[in-house]
Structure 1
Amino acid sequence: METDDVDAGLIDALAQTAFTVMAALNRVGAEHDLSLTQLRVLGILQDRRLRVSELAEYLGLEKSTMTGLVDRAEKRGLLGRAPSATDGRAVEVFVTPAGAALAGPIYARIAELLAPLLDGLRPAERRQLHQSLERFLR
């Protein structure tokens, strides 16, 4: 098989994987009345606090768009805001206890929906896939 054929097959496999994962994420989001971006925000903030501008940059969104998203999640009790401990002018966003309580079942449901993708892999293959994906995403 030529390199172009291998690359084409890899691109196709990546696209198919992305569509499968997106379908699972969309399903879970719909089950909890959350957009994909809201799911990502809960995941990103699960172990940290970020300024709205940092969160917007991380997601590739305009700050005003991010502010609106945070406003809506705050009204639902999923996110909160607090003054930054390091910069008195800045405000940080964090997951509230209600948001954290929702994040657990969301993660479990995503894992349940994606488990069939991993069922055929041995533990060593799973580790190798994990390492490859981590490198790929850097």
Structure 2
Amino acid sequence: MATDRAPRTDPLTLEVVELIGTVVARYHEEYEQVAGKHALTGAQARLLGLLSLEPLPMRRIAQTLKCEPSNVTGIVDRLEARGLVERRPDPADRRVKLAAPTEEGVRTARELRDELGFAREPLAELSRDDRVALRDLLQRMLGQKP
């Protein structure tokens, strides 16, 4: 039974892995720089960006960011002290607290996104079909359905 799967040590596979690593490293580097301009850490900026999509309970934030809930509590505490995030009861379960961005937090998250040019600018150079193909390939790599 023939397969199209490449061996893990195939030179092309290694090159693709290296390129993905380089893209991720450059993205994180730029994220840290942009966050610093707003006196935020990269983790604070990522959490704020996540919350700008929807308010979330602490446990789900920890799962999404792949970190300990106690770390999330500390990050939320610091963002709350800056007036960027607030805790509010979950309408579905009043025992659960949601972290949600304030108006200032939403504005800051938008500014952060707007200042991140590394990923957005090269992607704009690709055709729509290329961007769709790249998205679909990345979703397949992550086990998501395109």
Q: TM-score normalized by structure 1?
A: 0.87
Please list every run of 5 or more consecutive structure 2 residues that lacks an aligned counterpart in the other structure: 1-5
What's the offset of the Cα at 1:121? 2.1
Instruction: Give the aligned partner of residue 102 of structure 1.
Output: 108
Q: How does 1:107-122 map onto structure 2 within 5 Å?
A: 107-110=113-116, 112-122=117-127
Asked if 2 retains the 8 angstrom alpha-carbon contact of 1:24 and 1:114, the reply is: no
What's the offset of the Cα at 1:10? 0.8
How many equivalent residue pairs? Answer: 136
Identity of aligned residues (%): 27
Q: Mean Cα displacement is larger for which, 12-21 or 67-76?
A: 12-21
Correspondence for 2:57 among 51, 61, 70 = 51
Alpha-carbon separation, structure 2, partners of 1:88 and 1:114? 39
Secondary structure in 1 matching 2:88? strand
Alpha-carbon separation, structure 2, partners of 1:119 and 1:83? 40
Q: Mean Cα displacement is larger for which, 76-85 or 45-54?
A: 45-54
Normalized per residue, the structure richer in helix is 1
Asked if 2 retains the 8 angstrom alpha-carbon contact of 1:81 and 1:93, the reply is: yes
Q: 1:71 is matched by which residue type in structure 2?
A: D
What's the offset of the Cα at 1:54? 1.6
Structure 2 residue 58 is matched with structure 1 residue 61:
no
1:49-74 Cα distance to aligned partner (Å, 9 max, x none): 11112211221222211111100000
Q: TM-score normalized by structure 2?
A: 0.83
What is the Cα-based RMSD across aligned positions, in Å?
1.8
Instruction: Give the aligned partner of residue 11 of structure 1.
Output: 17
Alpha-carbon separation, structure 2, partners of 1:33 and 1:117? 27
What's the offset of the Cα at 1:27? 1.3
Instruction: Give the aligned partner of residue 137 of structure 2.
Output: 132
Alpha-carbon separation, structure 2, partners of 1:82 and 1:48? 13
Q: 1:114 is matched by which residue type in structure 2?
A: A
Q: 1:106 to 1:84 in 2, by over 3 A?
A: same
Correspondence for 1:70 among 68, 71, 76 = 76
Q: 1:104 is matched by which residue type in structure 2?
A: R
Q: How does 1:32-47 map onto structure 2 within 5 Å?
A: 32-47=38-53
Structure 1 segments, 4+ long, off by >4 Å, are none
Asked if 2 retains the 8 angstrom alpha-carbon contact of 1:81 and 1:94, the reply is: yes
Secondary structure in 1 matching 2:75? helix
